[in-house]
Amino acid sequence: MLGLNKKDAGLLLVVIGLTVFAPFILNPFPEGSALAQFNAGYPDLMQRLVIFGIFAIGFNILFGLTGYLSFGHAAFLGVGSYAGIWMIKLLTLNVIPAIVASVLVAGIFSLFVGWISLRRSGIYFSILTLAFAQMSYSLAYSVLTPITGGETGLQPKVGDPRIFDSALAEGVTPRANLFGVFMNDSYELSLGSWVFTFNAGYYIAAFFMVIAFYISIRIFRSPFGLMLRAVKSNQQRLNYTGIQSKPYTLAAFVISGMYAGLAGGLLVAMDTQAGAERMFWTASGEVVLMTILGGAGTLIGPVLGAGFIKYFENIVSKINEGILQAWFSFMPEAAQEFFVAIFYPFIGKGWHLTLGLIFMLVVIFLPGGLMEGGQRISNLFKKKSKSDTGSGKASPAPAE
């Protein structure tokens, strides 16, 4: 199917299935039940899950395949957002030009950054990319304020030119749309005490994620992808096999930059705002974490990692002391107080602490990420030799 072998086609179908039915899968608990706080089936979060999935898929093409650890990828996402918001302000509220522009501009910017940074490898490369990202961040906050809006960022205004659009009616706020379908349009389906939300923006973003995932499978299975893995494995041998590694790594860098740009453009399409904080180094660190947590170099790992992080970010941030006390209310009071006190630093605003700990634990104990963990568990339970967990490359399988 579509030039994929059975296994990869199956993987693609799984991802399509997951994204299409996400509104059901992410809302397993009935409204009003105690567990409803674990539901994630609302539009804003679902959009983020798939958009950051795209970001991580792209990052994985660079880091997972070539081993070049970029610490500045958020810059491309940020640049993509700015390009997108300007299209929305200047041309039209239709999101297509915004998304196209964000991919192109991020691609050009990553070509420039990559061309310079890839002259060095190892930690030098990481620091160069970090330097570029921090530079972009500082400039966006200071000198480039006319283009970036500085601290307030950019939003569409009623008075924007929007040369392709007819004038908005009096009192109508500018909202992003795709040929008349608004991003925040939703259809709610009530089944018993369950409520499922089908959001237009989510499905548009999910459509792009499926395409992005498909392209990433094709890249993984291509001679180009093989060369990228060879770069990671032994650059010296590659050079003495007549291959120049720089064009390959640069191409991978630009492709992953364009993925980041696409993610930035989609973020703008969904919430119609862009700000410099998206370029901060913590944002770059987050995509590294998503990729590693899921499993760098595996196909589906980064998607899982992005979903995991964004889901827990949302859930953990929502938990407050009251909820914590309710959880431990079955215990004697002293024990309850004790456990609440222990868990309190990790919830709510303590999400970053939890995130940092997860990061460390994964790097220490599970460098292959969730995919490796899954495989270890399945190896434990099944006597079957390396069963197919759908990773494709967690342990390098034959190329076909």
Partner 1 sequence: MSILEVKGVNKSFGGLQALNDVNLSVEEGTVHAIIGPNGAGKSTLLNCFIGKLIPDTGSVMFDSQSLLGRKPHEINQMGVSRVFQTPEIFSDLTVFENVIIACFAKRDGSFELNALVSVASQFDMKEKAEKMLIDVSMIEKRDEIASSLSRGDKRRLEMAMCLAQEPKLLLLDEPTAGMARADTNNTIDLLREIQQASGITMAIIEHDMHVVFSLAEKISVLAQGTVIVEDKPENIKGNPKVQEAYLGGAH
Partner 2 sequence: MDAIILQVLNGLDKGSAYALIALGLTLIFGTLGVVNFAHGALFMIGAFCAVTLSRFLNLSHQVIDPTKTDFLGKPLKVDVPYIYGLFGENAGNVIIDWAVPISILLAIPVMVIIGFIMERGLIRHFYKRPHADQILVTFGLAIVLQEIIKYFYGANPIPTPAPDVFKGSFDFGAFFGLDSSGIIYPYWRLVYFAFAAVIIGAVFSFLRFTTFGMVVRAGMADRETVGLLGINIDKRFTIMFGLAAAVAGLAGVMYTPINSPNYHMGMDFLVLSFVVVVVGGMGSLSGAVLAGFMLGILESFASLTIVLETLPGINQIIIFLVAIIVLLTRPRGLMGKAGVMEE
Residues that bind partner 1 (CB under 8 A): 3-5, 215, 218-219, 221-227, 229-230, 232-234, 236-244, 247-248, 251, 255, 395-400
Which residue lies nearer to partner 2 by CB, 250 or 358?
358
Using CB under 8 A as the binding rule, the residues of this chain from 42 to 71 that contact partner 2 are 67, 69, 71
Tokens matching residue 282: 């913590």
CB of 338 vs partner 1, minimal distance in Å: 47
- Report helix angle 43-66 to 301-318, nearest 10: 140
Nearer to partner 2, 21 or 115 (CB): 115
CB 257, min distance to partner 1, A = 15
Q: How many residues bind partner 2, per CB under 8 A?
A: 42
Centroid of chain to Cα 366? 20
Comparing CB distances to partner 1, the nearer of 127 and 250 is: 250
**Residue ranges with strand state E in the chain:** 177-178, 181-182, 186-191, 194-199
| Residue 135 touches which member of partner 2, partner 1, none, C-beta under 5-8 Å by kind | partner 2
Q: Is residue 327 a contact residue for partner 2 (CB under 8 A)?
A: no
How many other C-beta atoms can be found within 10 angstroms of the C-beta atom of residue 366? 16
What does the DSSP 8-state code read for residue 345? G
Q: Least CB distance from residue 212 to partner 1, whole Å?
A: 13
Neighbours of 174 (CB within 10 A): 18
Interface of this chain with partner 2, residues 102 to 141, rule: CB under 8 A = 116, 119-120, 122-124, 126-128, 130-132, 134-135, 138-139, 141
Radius of gyration of the chain (CA): 22
Nearer Cβ to partner 2 (142/395): 142
Q: Which of partner 1, partner 2, none does 281 bind, CB closer than 5 to 8 A by kind?
A: partner 2
Residues from 167 through 206 that contact partner 2 (CB under 8 A): none
The partner in contact with residue 400, picked from partner 1, partner 2, none with C-beta cut-offs of 5 to 8 angstroms by kind, is partner 1
- Residue whose CB is less far from partner 2, 31 or 321: 321
d(CA 354, CA 157): 38
CB 399 to partner 1: min, Å: 5
239 binds, among partner 1, partner 2, none (CB under 5 to 8 A by kind): partner 1
If one asks whether residue 279 binds partner 2 (CB under 8 A), the answer comes out as: no
Structure token pair of residue 273: 């705002």
Between residue 334 and residue 373, which ones bind partner 2 under the rule CB under 8 A?
345, 350, 352-353, 355-360, 363-364, 367
SS (H, E, C) 326-341: HHHHHCCHHHHHHHHH
Q: Go through 5-21 and write b for each residue having 16 or more CB atoms within 10 A of its CB, e for each that does not.
A: eeebeebbeebbebbee
CB of 279 to partner 1, least distance (A): 27
Q: What is the dihedral of CA 111, 112, 115, 116, to 10 degrees?
A: -150
Residues with Cβ within 8 Å of 332's Cβ and at least 6 positions away in sequence, in order, are: none
Strands (E), 116-232: 177-178, 181-182, 186-191, 194-199
Least distance CB 73 / partner 2 (angstroms): 14
CB 26 within 8 A of CB 38: no
Q: How would you label 335-349 residue by residue, b for 16+ Cβ within 10 Å and e otherwise?
A: ebeeebeebeebbee
Which among partner 1, partner 2, none contacts residue 335 (Cβ within 5 to 8 A by kind)? none
Q: SS3 for 92?
A: coil
We find the least distance from the C-beta atom of residue 120 to partner 2, in angstroms, to be: 6
First to last CA, the chain: 14
Using CB under 8 A, list all residues that contact partner 2.
67, 69, 71, 116, 119-120, 122-124, 126-128, 130-132, 134-135, 138-139, 141-144, 281-282, 285, 288-289, 292, 345, 350, 352-353, 355-360, 363-364, 367
